[in-house]
Amino acid sequence: MAGLRYHILALAVVGVWGVTFVCTKVLIGAGMDPAGIFLCRFVLAYAGIWLYTVLTGKEKKVWNGWGDEGVFLLLGISGGSLYFLTENTALAYTQASNTAFLVCSAPLFTAIFTLLYSRFGKGRFASGLEKVRLGWPLVGGTLLALAGMALVLFGRGEVSLSAKGDFLAVAAAVCWAVYSLFMGQMTREYGTLTATRKVFFYGLLTILPFMGGSGDSLSKEVLGQPVVWTNLVFLGMVASLLCFLAWNLVIDKLGNITSTNYVYLNPVFTLISASVLLGERMTPSAALGSAAILAGVILAGRSGRQADR
């Protein structure tokens, strides 16, 4: 029963993250750009976690050489700046529901990357990963999810701005899979607070080169809108600070594959909130493709569970 609370925590986090697609879409419509949204969101989150660690003194380990800092830099990019830049930009071109369903292919990429890295990689990261078996669940799930992604991406019959957004959503899923590959081990070694704070720091650092055209996005006129600052506070303090702390703990306790499999529920919350708040409706091909993606990632996720039996 002890592990049940981490499954419940994972479900709660995914529920919040499902709503963030709609929040980001609203912010883009209010005049913010993807880089500006990420900067404001993570500045709030970093300030909150830094203040908490200073006041409580609960940091487990802060420094272990430049090699580990390089890993945190990779995590800050894959789970921070590049992930949110691709995801937020995708939302500027395609529906929130499309983006959510494509990003939920992250468990599929996580299983594939884990299989490859655990077999060909060495050291503490390879040994700390969940075991994955190459069998029909992984192969069949991969093919099914890829077919679903093809339906979502090309179901319109032509490459359009929406297709550009869909491709960016898939890129975000790949970024999150890379993040899931290494974050669990760093959380175990550094503790949830320190590891999360470092990821936030490097995420903020690596978004700066993309901030050149974000002046209007951060103007008083834009940030002063109630719909903007309320969504930013939710994204920064709840979806980033609290949820990242919780998620990194979940990765540590449940493993990188089991935890990431919860991401396939993300689109369910997004679809409901996007339908209610944005009035979005899915096309038949997108609906069929989304169902195939969900079925595929669930099937592929069985490869991790079966390998532990």
Residue 72 in this model has a pLDDT that exceeds 70: yes
At residue 307 the predicted structure's pLDDT band, cuts being 50, 70 and 90, is very low
Q: Which domain holds residue 171?
A: 4-307
Show the 3-state SS of 203-231.
Answer: HHHHHHHHCCCCCHHHCHHHHCCHHHHHH
Reply yes or no on whether the pLDDT at 266 is more than 60.
yes
pLDDT, residue 302, reads: 67
Task: Give the SS3 label for residue 278.
Answer: coil
Mean pLDDT, the chain, integer: 85
Name which of 116, 243, 153, 234 is nearest 192 in CA terms.
243
Are the CB atoms for 264 and 294 separated by under 8 Å? Answer: yes
Which position has the higher pLDDT, 152 or 75?
75
Number of domains in the chain: 1
Q: How confident is the model at residue 127 (pLDDT cuts 50, 70, 90)?
A: confident
CA distance 181 to 244: 15
- Give the Cβ contact number of residue 175 at 10 Å: 24
What does the pLDDT read at residue 161? 54
Q: Which DSSP letter does residue 135 get? A: S
Contacts of 186 (CB under 8 A, 6+ apart): 68, 71, 72, 75, 195
The reported pLDDT for the residue numbered 42 is 94
Most confident of 61-65, 77-81, 151-155: 77-81
